[in-house]
Structure 1
Amino acid sequence: PRKIRKGGLASGGMDDRFDFQFISSSLDDGKGLDIIEGSYHAMGNDGTHYDIAINDGDNSCFDGDTDRSNLLAQALHDASDHIPVVVDFEVIVEEEVAEE
């Protein structure tokens, strides 16, 4: 989430991100483990920091809470050259029906 390289951390701004989880069709087939629709997101990325640092200006990753958003952006900027990618999953258990 940095624009300037410092302390051995990578730079480049928010357009140079390589933080992701690979998702396949098996995570959307109604069996075993499925991704919960709409839950995949890069924490702290509000979509407005193209080619700049995540903490450059106000961040709005938490709707309506700029102070909280800016605190998270600053912490992500200072702590790492990556941002967490979060996704929620659902474990689908097939119930066996007992025969009578």
Structure 2
Amino acid sequence: MRREIVLREINQGALAGMQSGITEQAADLVLAALDRYDAWAAERLETRLARIAEAHSKDAANGGLTSGACNECGQPHPCPTYVWATASRDPLATWDPRDDEEAA
């Protein structure tokens, strides 16, 4: 699907007189660049979510004692931010912690 969109955009530009003689090789170059960007963006997102999860880890004192609270926000661990950062979901989606609660 992505390839078809790129080819359509290139062809529309060619029809408008912006470029002539655009080949599928040009589309391949554009797609390769987009794929590299997507991989880079995904890696940055995973790294950022890992840092967020680490900051919102369970409080632990010397000897392994814990209060059961989150280091960052003080809520009971796992806090909503930790769950959001570690759950497999779209991190850009709107999320309500109540969505994860089991129905009574």
Q: Same fold (TM over 0.5)?
A: no
State the TM-score, normalized to the length of structure 1: 0.25
- Based on CA coordinates, which of the two structures has the bigger radius of gyration? 2
More strand by share: 1
State the TM-score, normalized to the length of structure 2: 0.25
> Highest relative contact order (Cα 8 Å, sep 6+), 1 or 2?
1
